[in-house]
């Protein structure tokens, strides 16, 4: 009986492997740099309200938009609470 031949993957030369890794690292860093250069949109609507709720929770006013105001019943309380923990 003859043994079945196994296919062996040839080893890349060290220079080619290093060049491939450098190209990948350069591509990733270039895309991160270009992504950081893009203008970020201003914070609008929902984000402003969530941060306002988080700040009021930190200051002890509770889950309200304004001190001595009615409770905010249209927003779930977990996300502003997590934001409050991050703002500490």
CA atoms of 48 and 83, how far apart (whole Å): 12
pTM above threshold 0.75? no
3-class secondary-structure state, position 80: helix
The overall average pLDDT reported for the chain is 84
pLDDT band at 3 (very low <50, low <70, confident <90, very high): low
pLDDT at site 6: 55
* Rounded-to-integer distance, Cα 76 and Cα 78, Å: 6
Q: Please give the pLDDT value at position 9.
A: 52
- Comparing 3 with 22, the larger pLDDT belongs to 22
Question: Nearest 5°: CA angle at 71, between 66 and 76?
Answer: 110
For the stretch 51-87, pLDDT in tens is 999 999 999 999 999 998 999 888 889 999 999 999 8
* 20 has a pLDDT exceeding 80: yes
Q: Which long-range contacts (CB under 8 A, 24 or more apart) does 43-51 make?
A: 49/75, 50/75, 50/79, 50/80, 50/83, 51/83, 51/87
**Of 40, 59, 51, nearest in space to 82 by CA:** 51
């Amino acid at each position: 009986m003859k043994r079945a031949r196994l296919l062996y993957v040839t080893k890349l030369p060290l220079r080619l492997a290093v060049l491939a890794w450098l190209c990948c690292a350069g591509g990733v860093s270039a895309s991160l740099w270009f992504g950081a250069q893009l203008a970020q949109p201003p914070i609008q609507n929902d984000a402003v309200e969530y941060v306002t709720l988080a700040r009021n929770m930190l200051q002890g006013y509770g889950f309200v938009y304004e001190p001595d105001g009615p409770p905010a019943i249209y927003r779930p309380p977990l996300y502003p609470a997590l934001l409050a923990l991050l703002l500490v």
